Structure 1
Amino acid sequence: MKVASDKPFRIIYSLFNHEFLGILFESFAIQLDDKGRLSYAYQNISFKNANEFATELDDTDYELIKLMDSMQQEAIVKKFNSKNIKPKDFLRKIYDGQNSNSSNKEVQKLIDHRLENTRSKILSRIKGKRLFEMGNDGNPIWKEIEVMPEKASVLFHFRRNEENTHYFPTIKYLEEKLEWQYRGAYLLCYDPAWLVVDNRLYNFEKDVDGKKLLPFLNKKFIVIPRKVEESYYQKFVTQLVASFDVYAKGFDIKVERSQPKVQLYLSDLPGNPSTDMFGGKMEDEEEEKMVFDLRFRYGDYTFRADQASPTNVELEKDGDEYVFYKVVRDLQKEAFYGDFLKSRGLAVRNSRQAMSKRMAYDWIMNYKPELDDIGIKIVQSNNEKGKKYFIGQANISIKINEKIDWFDVEAMVTFGDYQIPFVKFRKLLMKGKTEIELPNKEVAIIPKSWFVNYAEIFSFMEHQEETDHPLRLKKHHIALAQELEKGNLLKLSLSDRLRKLRDFSSIEDYDLSKYFKGTLRPYQKAGYNWMRFLNEYHFGGCLADDMGLGKTVQTLALLASEKERTEGATSLLVMPTSLIYNWELEAKKFTPKLKILTYTGSQRIKDCSSFDRYDLVLTSYGITRMDVDVLKGFYFNYIILDESQAIKNPDSIISKAVVQLNSQHKMILTGTPVENGTMDLWSQMNFINRGLLGNQHGFKKQFLLPIEKKNDSDKISKLNAMIKPFILRRLKSQVATDLPEKVINVKYSTMTDEQQKAYEEVKNYYRDKLIDEMSVPGVPQKSLTLLKGLTQLRQIANHPKMADEMYEGDSGKMEDVVHMIKSTVSEGHKVLIFSQFVKHLSLVRRFLDEEELQYSYLDGTTKNRQAQVNAFQEDPDIKVFLISLKAGGVGLNLTKAEYVFMLDPWWNPAVESQAIDRAHRIGQQNKVIIYKFITRETVEEKIMTLQERKMALAGELISTEESFIKSLSQEDITALLA
């Protein structure tokens, strides 16, 4: 019968017994009569039509209806009924006991499990709802079942006598005994139990299994004969005692409730062959691992952390007597201790964690005071070798005192109360030994940090027999000593002369390494000497030569000398991804003996332990940013940043990442140390020589603002004086006299009439807008409006279609560019075409496609950069290379090009020069001719005029869009938009 949803009705749920599937539930809407009672007008509800009755439904009702739909026979058999048999016939076949087979039984098991799970979900949501038992005639409200709001409790009884043991459960509801046996009670669900007694529905504390109640619905107790009681007690009763309340007569149940005592057990685990402190294999040594095992002790019983059960029960039999020992554990407290250890780097997964002995010992030394405070006791379990490890305090102190030609080394090593002769200790360390036996026979583990911190300086020490100070250190190792002194790893006593070395006026000539294959031009040899000089005095440097002067080869010469001087030291070179291949090629050419690891790609192994096998690790800024936690775990010889303007912003993620890396020396390479502003300089200098220019806030106040806002020449001079010793910059015009001639031409273009009209409309719009904004003091939008307006005018000066896709006219500059391309290509020359606007390159690209001219192309989206470069350099049919400024302004060697077309002028002349230097660099055999395309009577021409007047700092510190615009006066803006 249809229920009218616009008249009063109620939602109820009804259960019935299916002949095959057992108890199922259905949902109904029941019409109310004129007295508000449930009538015999009802309608079955499914999830599909439930919204018709939404006024009486809440979120739980929707969940219940959906669950009940899923347990109807049509839904149940759908998954298994591949032959589309009628649901009733399919179930009859599956549940037919006479024709049942293993396959049918497996399907039965799956169906029963699914239904039981669904019943549990329904019953957990049924409280507060009206539940009925369905009549045989299908009446859904035949008998109402009251859903009891509280949980009942079950007490299991055992009464042991001389012949047997009686077992039975009792139930209490609200502390009153419930009579439930022999009363027609039945279970709606077994896991967990839901029991209907006298039309009331009960569920239970501790999620009792219904199968433990089922035998007693019509039986008072179960008898366990004496002959099977021990097995029954062991297998069944222990589980009941562990999970539920049990009352026993004839045997004892003893319960232990206490706070856990926390024990961290240490034991040995054989490891793999180790290496000595310098990376050599120790064939006769095996580095063992130490295992941490977290356990909790309650009274006389100890449990491992992975045995996380709320209770544990053990059965003991003494003669004819049984005792159950039940331990109630505090899992919340145990979890607290586990989380505490995890937060200190000891994630005792499955209660245990293994690590090398040195790492384990370092961990114990770092955290033992905290372990003691919180009550975690370290316990050494017995091991096969009978070792007992020293876990007290270890200390090493080193003093280095200056003598005439060397440093004397005084050192002391102590483990607890025992002092170890340093000469003996150093020998063990040099051999890579990780353990030392103390006089009391305890074995002390040498901390890993001592290997990391002192390996190099220990290797440089020389043992002098029969002297008061048998260990000496040569003076040329002062930089290393100073580095350790900075880290409070030793005390260094130096003369004022040595400590206050400030003389940079003369640099000696250093020999090239035998690992370097090639020759250096005189200015390159001078650069190498300068880097060696900085190395000797342990200062960082910035090699800022013009593009094309060979910063790469000078750096490789330095790294070759490092391989020869400090064999086994590993350096790190970070660069833009696009330059890695170029570095690999150059290294193979000039330093073929360098062992190089290219640490890039998704398949890289994120582990720094293998770095010491290589002389040089190459990686990118992106990888460094992602893997900083890996890389900072290794102490490098050199960290070198190529195109170091990548860290010009000290607040960027990559800048914060590289300063976390650890090394003995630092060097940066860049053709443009200043791109956006003076802070670029601070960020890079702070990386190579921490603190040279003060902190960021102080530098901004003392130098950045006076230089950029007031053009303070005194501040510029002072800043240059401070950084001069650490920056080496040579211009091509100064040193590369052997390069072929570079000719720069300016090609002035005239706008077409349509182009002129489009330009004037945009110019007038922004001029009026800026005049309005400048009339209001303190309007912050002015710079943004000017930048936006200038950008749009520059686009129109190139081609109006760049600013307006609907533009159908021509461009004067494009006509000139097309003509020049045809001329150069027809004469067999190769040409680079640069623009900072990808849209501009697209217009040129369209022309080349129409003319069927082959070309290479590179912008920020290009994936195969090197393939594009190789094609241009090697394929004689490819004459044109289209390059966007940001994607191709650095890192490319394009020496086959004889012409460079600059399609639009750039704010920063230094960046423009970098683009030109893609062709005009070492290896170029031809005269390089540059054409700069400028559209007359546009903002392009006026910018060039303003640059000459406003950018006096360009060659010294700064020259960019942002700084350029900030420096413009109202008169300058008016002139630009005149």
Structure 2
Amino acid sequence: MELMIYPEGEHREGFRPGVGPSWIISTDEHQDDKPRLLLRSLSLERKKSELIWKKFSNWLKTDPISHTHTTPTLASACELLWALKETNDVSLHLRWPRGETLKIGAEVSRKQLQIQLDGEGDWLKIQGELTVDAQTVIELSELVRLVSQSKNRFIPLNERHFVALSQDLWGKIREMGMISEPSQDGLRLHPLMVTELSQIMDTTDSDLANDEAEGSQVGYYLKVQEQIQNWKPLVPPDLKAVLRDYQTHGFEWLIRLAEIQAGACLADDMGLGKTIQTLAVLLYRSEMGPALVVAPTSVCGNWLSEALRFAPSLQCQWLTQGSDWPLLEKSKLGQVWIISYNLFQQMPDDLLNDIHWGTVVLDEAQNIKNPLTKRSQTAMKLKAHFRLVTTGTPIENHLGELWNLFRFINPGLLGSHKSFNERFAFPIQREGNLEILNHLKQIISPFILRRTKTQVLVELPERTEMTIVLSMNEEERALYEAVRQEALNTVIEFQGQSEPSEIGRNRVRILAGLMKMRRACCHGRLLLPESSWESSKLVALMDIIQDLVASGHRALIFSQFVDYLQIIKKLMEHHEIGFQYLDGATPAGERTKRVKAFQEGKDDVFLISLKAGGVGLNLTGADYVIHMDPWWNPAVEDQASDRAHRFGQTKPVTIYRLICKNTIEEKMLVLHEKKRGLAESLLNGAEQSTPLNLDELKELLNGDA
């Protein structure tokens, strides 16, 4: 682009502003070609040209050598032409080189766009057209395609002819393209995106439906979504708990989504009660079919205990082996099956195809984040009216994990894996495109609920305790049963003795047997140093710790066995998780130094022996406490937990206890509540007023839980 001055008119000689002679001898054919003098104001020309260049500088690039001005892109050229067209300066005239033109029609607004929805199988078909003028009409799917390929509001009709969309309309078409996807005969929309589309287009849901929508699939979705917007379902009266305000809100949100057959992702921070909210949903929907809860092995036991405690009217059962598959065929209303991911992925195809679940819950759903795994593929085959995933970390590494979660809860909402990567993942992760990121948030936000502890801190209990019941693997169970039988034989051997002195002398052997049982629950290497099998507790521990660290939390890990802490120490080193360590052998000065370092934010984990660190420490830098093995006296555990839960703590504290199912550890928890005298007796011997007798010892050694 260049500016030229034509003192004698545009058909005579031209000059660059401020360049050339001040006086010009001119002739006029209408005045008998009589010469006349024209005076140019070169300074005024330069000043005016500078103002013009400044006015249109947003779309021009200046060459400092030649002093020429060019538009770097076709989009800039269109914007420049439009700005020139809109200017009120009558002295400016646009001239094209001979044979070269660029035509831009009048600006088109939202009022010139017609749009409607029709049913198309499980999807909705978007139809419509944009009327540019009497001769030009653009079909909606073609309009979306053109806008998606254009980086500005000027879309090409051909190589030299452009249509100017209003900035508002251009933005709306772009957003429509983000929530829809191309189909063979136009555009299609996921039914759950109807309200989102109406908000984008500044219209009501009903206005999007065609005249025949009443009673159709479109009409159904519009009617149901409109009805539930302000509906507040009531928490079931048989839930044996009082939900906090944010938990009630979560329950209502989940039920509303279930009513419109939409899946949900409950992504609350750890410790905010995702389980109790889910149990409330299972109670509410108990008459709508059997329910399936899939969870990590480490929390299946907790699911069962929480259900029995807070929702006893549900018929809950934990499936622990493949031989239980036939039980699923007899599923009925109010039945809730709990199953681990490891067993779930072995579910036979005929069961996957034959059972239609009222509700399916995937707890810690990051377990299906990889679409290529067997468990993910099995999950996608489930038939369910309502699908719910719970996870504190819906995205751990990349957006593809979020895509797979949504593929389970709302299939098709985020498109195919390929289209999702092209439309969202690549622009966001590779280019940092915030506009695309906001579009993705718009799509998923109606179906994902995320609250952090900081957000709901005022409502949180000061202290939340949770017992995680774990199933032993085959090697662990065999070792445990061997030492249990050995201890039981010792009790039977001395059962005929009546002299208190004899019982006292032999009690040491009995308690030694109990100690071996407790150590067998922790890790096989505590009894068989050369053993190489996996520890159920350590698998569960690493699942917890990795989630906590990824979520910005910090934890104290307690055990009464120092050699067990040494194994955990090596595990942390293997996974490159920073930690502090303290046991009875830690010198006083070093002890103080390590506590200070942790409190100042160094490392996310503190390994502590129960006896050495259970009292006298201030470790409010942690907001989670994990007890790897139970102690006979619950007060000792409470004191250890109080290292984090004490004055100066600004965050709610969550306490986990890892317990092996059908072992002495479960019986120790029962003793915490029912036999405190017996617990003290085992700990302190004859000093207790309720002495331990052989029948009570035998009960502890019994193999039944």
- TM-score higher than 0.5 here? no
Whose relative contact order is higher, 1 or 2, with alpha carbons under 8 Å and at least 6 apart? 2
**Structure-1-length-normalised TM-score:** 0.29
Structure with greater Cα Rg? 1
**Structure-2-length-normalised TM-score:** 0.39
